[in-house]
Amino acid sequence: MISEGFLLLVGAGGLVVVILSIARRPAFAVLLVLVSEVASSRFTLPTLPLGSVTIFVTDLPTVALLAAIVVRPYLGVQRRKVSTALAALFLLVLLGLVRGIRVFGLQSAGNYSREILAFTAAALFFSTVAITPGFIAGLRRWFTVIGAFLVSMAVLFWIQNGFGGFSTNGERALRGIQALVLLLGTIIAIVVPYGRTRTRNLTPPIIGFLVLVLTVQRSVAVAGVVALIVIVLIGGRSRTRRSSLVTRFLLVIGGLAVGFLVLAGPTGLTRDLGTAVETSTIQEGTLNWRLEGWRVLIGNQISGSVPSLIVGEPAGSSDLRVVGDSVVTVAPHSEYVSMFKSVGIVGLLIALWLLVSTFRRNVVNVRSDYTFTATAGLLFATLLAAQVTYFITYSAGLVAGLVVGLSASLAWFGAVDPEVEEQRAAQVRALLLEAPRTPALGRSRRSEPPPIDQPVLS
């Protein structure tokens, strides 16, 4: 029988390999984040017992991302500076974790802080990643691979259960985070299309939109609508040709998707959509139920102690609240409410300032005269808008940190645009050609050969 020590040793070795891989190739970190989130949302992953503490496999990507930030300079890999706002937010999370360990113990505090710690760790790592054409290609590739897997999962679900599962037993083909990943991949496919032919550009977004509508995930649907509005309104301001084509493609995709659903939509889908609208106002776990829970949690936070109001409660504090006639202990189902409890009013204001300022700066990037910078600005402004909308009814995690971190990297440090780099190289070459030639170092005028008409003295 394999001992626990051997398993821990193998796990530590694998973790080191992952850390070095994502430190050298940040695009691999995208795959790590997507696989971790999709797998943990569908399957029950194993745990690693370490004394009196149980380590979850889903905690390892958080550790790997934080370690990669530290080791990257020692590997000779250039990285950007860490965002001050993200660093402050991370320190507030750590403060709450330390306070929680003292009050509730390591296990309870760690379980409470898992999601927000994963979010801030991913945001910190990806904010140090340079936005280059190669990285964007890797980002698109991994989102496409995971998106294809999610589409296959959804199709298999409908083959086995048919349409109408949500109206009968509440089951959906994709869960919330899975649908969000598919939405983000669809956005990337719209803004940064794969091929030059119209068929290759339109096929992935059409499939993505159809599957998203059929999954009946309300929060993701609202985030998708917000993303489409951002692309139409902001993409039209771009001075580049590609962004103009993006807007046209978007209109065609939306028309085809809506037309297909209206003309050929399955009867179960109509029943599911009607159920989704009805349950959004009458059942537990829906909007009104969440609003009442948020009101209670916010009121408790405001009426609590001053330190908890300013910097958040110790990690591990209870989310207990009374909603209607029932006692509820589950998470608030809103990142803004969760952040208010975890990092207080200071952390919430820092996060809101970061999100708003990052979005505004990326909107400015959309109007750049350089094609890659404008395209990247439109991409991350749209992804951030979708993620911020999703925050309203769901908590953050690794995927949210990926979106926020990359958006902050572009907004505050700019893109490595090939056109800009070529212009700089051309300017350097021009300066070198125009510079007067000087004698070589260590060589005086006396050592220069005499004119041809003068004899050489022996």
DSSP string for residues in 264-321? H--HHHHHHHHHHHHHHHHSTTSHHHHHHHHHHHHHHHHHS-HHHHHH-PPTT----E
pLDDT of residue 65: 94
38 part of a folded domain: yes
Give 63's pLDDT tier (boundaries 50, 70, 90): very high
132 part of a folded domain: yes
Count of domains for the chain: 1
Better pLDDT: 22 or 9: 22
Angle formed by the axes of helices 60-71 and 26-42, nearest 10°: 170
96 part of a folded domain: yes
pLDDT of residue 201: 77
pLDDT of residue 280: 43
pLDDT of residue 101: 92
Residue 403 pLDDT greater than 80, yes or no: yes
Residue 284 pLDDT greater than 60, yes or no: no
449 part of a folded domain: no
Give 121's pLDDT tier (boundaries 50, 70, 90): very high
Residue 163 pLDDT greater than 90, yes or no: no
CB neighbourhood size of 170 (10 A): 11
Better pLDDT: 93 or 267: 93
279 part of a folded domain: yes
Residue 50 pLDDT greater than 80, yes or no: no
Q: Are strands 326-328 and 321-323 parallel, antiparallel or unpaired?
A: antiparallel
Distance CA 219, CA 223 (A): 6
Residue 275 pLDDT greater than 50, yes or no: no
Q: Where are the alpha helices (DSSP H) in 82-175?
A: 84-104, 106-127, 133-161, 165-169
Taking only the tens place, the pLDDT of each residue in 350-365 is 999 999 999 999 999 9
Distance CA 141, CA 59 (A): 25
Give 2's pLDDT tier (boundaries 50, 70, 90): low
Could you give the count of Cα atoms lying within 13 Å of 327 in the half-sphere of its Cβ?
2
Residue 200 pLDDT greater than 80, yes or no: no
Residue 376 pLDDT greater than 80, yes or no: yes
* Mean pLDDT, the chain, integer: 80
Residue 226 pLDDT greater than 80, yes or no: yes
Out of 1-10, 96-105, 185-194, 361-370, least confident range:
1-10
pTM: 0.83
Residues 6+ apart with CB under 8 A from 87: 124
Q: Which domain holds residue 329?
A: 4-420
pLDDT of residue 444: 47
Out of 192-196, 198-202, 235-239, 322-326, least confident range:
235-239
434 part of a folded domain: no
Give 270's pLDDT tier (boundaries 50, 70, 90): very low
440 part of a folded domain: no
Contact 156, 101 (CB under 8 A): no
307 part of a folded domain: yes
Mean pLDDT of 113-139: 92
Taking the alpha carbons at both ends of the chain, their separation in whole angstroms is 91
- What percent of the chain clears pLDDT 90, i.e. is strictly above it? 33
Which amino acid appears at position 382 of this protein? Answer: T
Residue 455 pLDDT greater than 70, yes or no: no
